[in-house]
Amino acid sequence: MSGDAKIPAEAAALAAEAVRHLWWLRDAGVREVPLAAAPRPAGAAVVAVAKAAPPPPALSENGCGSEELLAIRAGLGDCTRCKLHGGRTRLVFGVGNPSAELMFVGEGPGADEDLQGEPFVGRAGQLLTKMIEAMGFARSEVYIANVVKCRPPGNRDPEPDEIAACEPFLKAQIAAIRPRVVVALGRFAVQTLLRDATPIGKQRGRWRAYEGVRLMPTFHPAYLLRNPAEKKPAWEDLQLVMKEFGKTAPGRES
């Protein structure tokens, strides 16, 4: 390859890096950045972050709705701590109310989440939203995050080194939000948070404690889509959570 051919490749890599950085800034709620760090004369050019990607969500919508969460997101940066970074479109930090009393933790982003940058927006997400609403909450009232923040290729299971790299950020999110209850969805959320390798079928439906927060293990919505018969026990688990909040299922008087 000639020296000339190398220049466009380097330029493309730089451009890709710049766009990734702009995406990260957008996810952190930044709307525009000056072109130069030096004092900017009136009318100097400004790069609109929104031009590199769709308009940034409001802070409360991109999962960084408090100073603490924003600091955690900033700490993650344009993360390259594990090999998942190479295949992601967008890092999926979390979504919802930064002061939520109820938090859901899943496994990791799938294809839809990777594209949209928001957890649980695909088929499993639609079921999770129905579960949340059936519990008497709005999706916007709760907080939703995952064990790993980047999509495992082909939706494979996250690997131990990937979980280990990402877990401190989930831990920090839970500490910042301080929910009354965490619902751990599926094997990876339950086993990661509880350090307990017991199969999920044996752990579900029993109150546990995670760093002083009540934790309810239950089945993952994607598992429920594949095994609809398990929706009944999962609903029983969620009713235990509802009871904790003084809520009853619609149509049932307490």
| Cβ(82)–Cβ(153) below 8 Å | no
Q: 132 or 222: whose CB is closer to ligand URA?
A: 222
Q: Containing H/E element for 181?
A: strand 181-185
Token pair listed for 76: 């993650």
Provide the minimum distance between the beta carbon of 130 and ligand URA in the complex, in angstroms, as a whole number: 14
Binding mask 129-168 for ligand URA (x = CB under 6 A): -----------------x----------------------
What is each CA distance from 143 to 5, 137, 151, 220, in whole angstroms?
48, 11, 19, 16
The count of residues interacting with ligand URA (CB under 6 A) is 13
* CA angle at 103 for the pair 69 and 76, rounded to the nearest 5°: 30
Beta strand 102-106 with 181-185: parallel, antiparallel or unpaired? parallel
Binding mask 103-132 for ligand URA (x = CB under 6 A): ---xxxxx--x-----xx-x-xx-------
63 contributes a contact to ligand URA by CB under 6 A? no
Provide the minimum distance between the beta carbon of 186 and ligand URA in the complex, in angstroms, as a whole number: 7
| Cβ(148)–Cβ(163) below 8 Å | yes
Q: 125 or 217: whose CB is closer to ligand URA?
A: 125
Residue ranges in contact with ligand URA by CB under 6 A: 106-110, 113, 119-120, 122, 124-125, 146, 222
